[in-house]
Amino acid sequence: MNFWRWLTTPDPEPGFTRRKLGRLLLRVLLFTVLATVLSALLRVVGLGPYLDTWWGTLLFVLALYIPLARFLNVDTFAPRRTVGAAARTGTKGKTTSAERRKERNRYAGVRKGPPHSGRRR
């Protein structure tokens, strides 16, 4: 497996394992190096006085953090698919037949129309 795929693939293990924390640390270090290099390049170009203002710093941070937010949070906020499936199967045995019928008909895809004032069609 190549380095980039290893760095950007979510870890399926729950919690923060040693491997997951190592990858997170590596991502933060790469992000810091990228931010420092981009800031230095913008200062070389002549945008240093603008980067020293509050709005220049805000624009720089937003332009950098928004595209890279997913890269930084690959393992942190991974969806947990197994928790939802386990919760659904655990409540199945405690429902009555009326509740099961109501739940089954809820997703039937057909909505009943309003009553037609007692007429038959």
Can you give the pLDDT at residue 113? 64
Q: What's the rounded Cα separation, in Å, for the pair 88 and 90? A: 6
Can you give the pLDDT at residue 119? 64
Q: Which of 30-44, 57-71, 80-94 has the highest mean pLDDT?
A: 30-44
Q: What's the rounded Cα separation, in Å, for the pair 71 and 45? A: 27
State the pLDDT confidence band at 97, using cuts at 50, 70 and 90. Answer: confident
- What's the predicted TM-score (pTM) here? 0.54
Can you give the pLDDT at residue 1? 60
Can you give the three-state secondary structure of the chain, one letter per residue? CCHHHHHHCCCCCCCCCHHHHHHHHHHHHHHHHHHHHHHHHHHHHCCHHHHCCHHHHHHHHHHHHHHHHHHHCCCCCCCCHHHHHHHHHHCHHHCCHHHHHHHHHHCCCCCCCCCCCCCCC
What's the pLDDT tens digit per position in 22-44?
Answer: 888 888 898 899 999 999 999 99
Q: What's the rounded Cα separation, in Å, for the pair 28 and 40? A: 18
Least confident of 24-33, 85-94, 111-120: 85-94
Identity of the residue numbered 104: R
Q: Which of 54-58, 63-67, 73-77, 102-106 has the highest mean pLDDT?
A: 54-58
Residue 73, pLDDT > 90, answer: no
State the pLDDT confidence band at 72, using cuts at 50, 70 and 90. Answer: confident
| CB of 19 closer than 8 Å to CB of 11 | yes
